[in-house]
Amino acid sequence: MIDTGTLWIVIIGLGIGSYALRFAFLGIVGDRPMPAWLLRHLRYTAVAMLPALVAPQVVWPAATDGQADLPRMAAAAVTLVVGLLTKNVLAAIFSGAATLFGMLWLFAL
Partner 1 sequence: MPSTTPKTRTRASAYWKGFADGAPFLLVVIPFAMLFGVLATEAGLNVLETLSFSAVVFAGAAQFTALQLMQENAPTVIVLASALAVNLRVAMYSASLTPWIGAAPLWQRAIAAYFTVDQSYACSVVQFENEPQMTVPQRMAYFTGVLSPIVPFWYASSILGALVGTQVPDSWALDFALPITFLALVAPMLRTAAHVIAALVAIITSLLTAAVPYSLGLMIAGTLGMMAGAQAEVLLERRKLRHD
Ranges within 83-102 binding partner 1 (CB under 8 A): 83-84, 87-90, 92-93, 96-97, 100-101
Give the x/- contact pattern for partner 1 in 25-64, rule: CB under 8 A: xxx-xxx--x--x-xxxxxxxxxxxxxxxxxxxxxxxxx-
Least Cβ distance, residue 40 to partner 1 (angstroms):
4
- Residue 68 near partner 1 by CB under 8 A: no
- Residue 70 near partner 1 by CB under 8 A: no
Measured distance CA(33)–CA(20) in Å, rounded: 18
- How many other CB atoms are there within 10 angstroms of residue 95's CB atom? 19
